[in-house]
Amino acid sequence: MSIVTIQNEFLTVSVSSLGAELQSIRDKNGVERLWQGDPQFWASRAPILFPVAGGFREDCYVMGDKRYPMPKHGFVRKLEWQVEAAHDTSVTFLMTARHEGFPFDYALRATFALAGSALSVDYAVENRGAETFWYSVGSHEAFATPEGLEAYEIVFDEEERLEDFPLQGNLIARQPVVMAEKTRTLPLKTEYFAVDALVFRTLKSRGVTLRSQAHGREIRVDYPQHGTLMLWTKPGAGYLCIEPWCNAPDFVDADLRIDHKPGFIRLDAGASATRRHTITVR
């Protein structure tokens, strides 16, 4: 395992080759903006979720006439990645390892790049084989909330009817719970996370801001190509995960066929696709 650090005049960012996982985001004042992990609550910081974000019903999917086993959040977050390119303000990690549930010839590149006070994160997938496959990708960055969760709120780019699809284990209910009929802000409450994450799959907004009135600092996350936004923490911990996912968790009665699942990306032989989200530190 190695740690690669990139920096500019606004940000210093460190990424581990284990899982290509962000380890640190420090602003120009030296303030750590990323959760630093604590096994008492959650030891991770920002795992990459591939080729599925969340879990499948029956922990598998069907493609053609074959079933493929796949654990929750996929498999690449626990593997060592190759550092393919490293520069002062950007780094690219490469993953090509196969899994019994994803036995395809592929390349996944995670590129972290700084521009001003923004960190862009690109997940580029290439199908190097002759067989079509489907995949999804999601991010799971945990941002520090040292003043306590309830000192913070989420601000949506657009006015929203907030519909949370409650989790039942790894799966979501068909019927959403309406948290607000019309709002642009969600004051965070510990009780929201007593069971698990909030699952927003009907948002118009493609950007949200985490802010606190206790100070002037903000974290903004833009996710123009992702259809689901997850918010998650463990009660008592000092973080909030803001998670743009391409797919949503499976419904409790979901079809197992992957080509029937919303948000999964079809990649034919020789094709490639990239999904980007951007973290802006203020």
Average pLDDT on 30-50 reads 97
Q: Band of the pLDDT at 213, cuts 50, 70, 90?
A: confident
pLDDT of residue 221: 99
pLDDT band at 180 (very low <50, low <70, confident <90, very high): very high
Q: What is the CA radius of gyration of the chain?
A: 18
Query: Among the CATH numbers 2.30.30.100, 3.90.1300.10, 3.10.129.10, 2.70.98.10, which is that of 3-281?
Result: 2.70.98.10
**How many helical (H) and strand (E) elements, i.e. helices and strands, does the chain have?**
0, 22
Find out whether 248 and 228 touch, Cβ atoms under 8 Å: yes
Is the whole-model pTM more than 0.95?
yes
pLDDT at 216: 82
First to last CA, the chain: 30
Look over the chain and give the mean of its residue pLDDT values, rounded to a whole number.
Answer: 98
pLDDT per residue as tens digits for the range 140-158? 999 999 999 999 999 999 9
Q: Are 173 and 199 in contact (CB under 8 A)?
A: no
- Report which of 32, 35, 37, 40 is spatially closest to residue 13, judged by C-alpha positions: 32
Q: What is the mean pLDDT of residues 227-238?
A: 96
pLDDT in tens, 190-212: 999 999 999 999 999 999 999 99
Question: 51-103: per-residue pLDDT in tens?
Answer: 999 999 999 999 999 999 999 999 999 999 999 999 999 999 999 999 999 99
Q: What is the mean pLDDT of residues 248-254?
A: 97
Residue 218 has pLDDT above 90, yes or no: yes
pLDDT of residue 237: 94
Return the C-alpha torsion angle 178, 232, 193, 164, nearest 10. 10
Cis amide leading into 71 (omega within 30): no
